[in-house]
Amino acid sequence: MKSCEYQQIDPRALTVSAHKAPGTVTHPHRRKWQIFPGKNRFFCDGRLMLSRQSGVLPLTLGLVVVTCGLFFAFDCPFLVQHLTLFIPVIGGVLFVFVMLSLLRTSFTDPGILPRAGPDEAADIERQIDSSGSSSYRPPPRTKEILINQQVVKLKYCFTCKMFRPPRTSHCSLCDNCVERFDHHCPWVGNCVGKRNYRFFYSFIISLSFLTSFIFGCVITHLTLRCHTGKSLIQAIQESPASVVELVICFFSVWSILGLSGFHTYLVASNLTTNEDIKGSWSSKRGAEDSGNPYTHNSIMRNCCATLCGPMPPSLIDRRGFVPSDEVVTAADCPSEMELPSFTAKSDTHMCTQSTKDVLEKMLRSSDLAVCPVGAPETSPLGLEVPAIRSPVVCQAPCSGCGRSRKDSLHSINPAFRLAAPSPTVPRTNPPLSQSQAEGFVPMP
């Protein structure tokens, strides 16, 4: 037979390590913030983080910067000339404090808890299953612990696959469990929790002082202009920017002052916004002992514990490297995988025809012995076999063929000599009469 050209893959190129799956690529220098599962954005190589839905944060920055810019440009020169030099100094200190507190609140980890790994999640599931009863009801997804002689329930988070610690809640916008969760603030573009609550409180307090200070200075500016013998309309025409500042401060100072007062009450009581809204420790829930188990029974102690305590470390390790045994799929990798090299070889027993072409040629050839067989008359127990009429190659000479399977196959393609059955191994089909003894039942 004429030799055919074929391409063969080097078997050594297909060897895969026991620790690597086919179609995967390792990234030894990939950091954890790059594969973080929450809905957050990271900057400066993971040093800064922000919520993915932070569209209101530029508005907050714009309002503060524009209002203060107009104040320093149009009001401060007149007030320095007629009053004192300390007005722009006080305004500048408050502005810097507000901006620093806002940026620290927005770009600080609020206290995100890392999600449970596969082994830890499986262990928690086993504990839940073992604690459940044998009835039809599913096992409980809560735990009860004692804090200051008061029962506190821990809920199971189906997203993070763990029981939430006390005062922890899952933020639906950031998709993270946040320790001592207070609320998600769109104005700062981040959750407010254990690690950034002190910055948020200092932001709203300083912002309330800054807004009130600018509001009072603008009114003083317009009043002094009116005392020089000018009407209010003329004073506004001489300083139109003061009207813009007056409107912004008037509509924002009330909400900012109210928010500052509310959070001052929460700090003094050692509560969170989430607990206050839900009424977790309110007597309205009907509990016998509904007091706050986290209070220190002193306003000063509560304030110090909330605002002046040590800064807890971040638990998500944003800038840590991903272990080398973790892999990502090739679809996540922008680079394309290289295919193994091919080498051309020739062999008298191999051919480039596909299996489909070979089988079609076998069926069309007159040298191949094919016997038409109908639907099978027997079927294994419990297994339905569809009635398919297909040509079956004879295993032995029959009355309709007269030629053996081996001769017919070898006459069409010498390549089948490699796969021919060994003559020492008998291959016979059991007669139909023995079907019931072999575990078969007749088909209806």
- The β-bridge relationship of strands 150-157 and 142-147 is antiparallel
Give DSSP secondary structure letters for 114-142.
PPP-HHHHHHHHHHHHHHS-SSSSPPP-E
Half-sphere exposure of 244 (CA within 13 A, CB side): 15
Handedness of CA 61, 63, 66, 67 (dihedral sign): negative
Residue 110 CA, distance from chain mean position? 17
Q: What is the DSSP letter of 330?
A: G
> Among candidates 25, 48, 50, 28, which has minimal Cα distance to 39?
50
Residue 346: CB partners within 8 Å, gap ≥ 6? Answer: 3, 4, 5, 6
Give the residue ranges of DSSP H helices in 279-391.
299-307, 355-364
- Residue ranges of E strands in 232-390: 328-329, 342-347, 370-372, 378-380
Catalytic residue among 185, 191, 217, 351: 185
Task: Note whether 245 and 253 are within 8 A (CB).
Answer: no
Tokens of 342: 């091919």
Determine the Cα–Cα distance for residues 410 and 311; give it in Å rounded to an integer: 82
Instruction: Mark whether 371 is an active-site residue.
Output: no
Distance from C-alpha of 211 to C-alpha of 248, rounded to nearest angstrom: 9
Question: What is the signed CA dihedral for 411, 417, 423, 425, rounded to 10 degrees?
Answer: -120
The per-residue b/e assignment along 172-210, b for 16 or more CB within 10 angstroms, e otherwise, is eebbbbbbbbbbbbbbbbbbbbbbbbbbbbbbbbbbbbb
- Evaluate whether 27 touches 328 at the Cβ level (below 8 Å): yes
CB burial of 62-83 (b: ≥16 within 10 Å; e: otherwise) equals eebeebbebbbebbbebbeeee
| Bridge-based pairing state of the strands 142-147 and 370-372 | unpaired
Contact 171, 159 (CB under 8 A): no
What type of residue sits at position 246? Answer: L
Active-site annotation, residues: 185
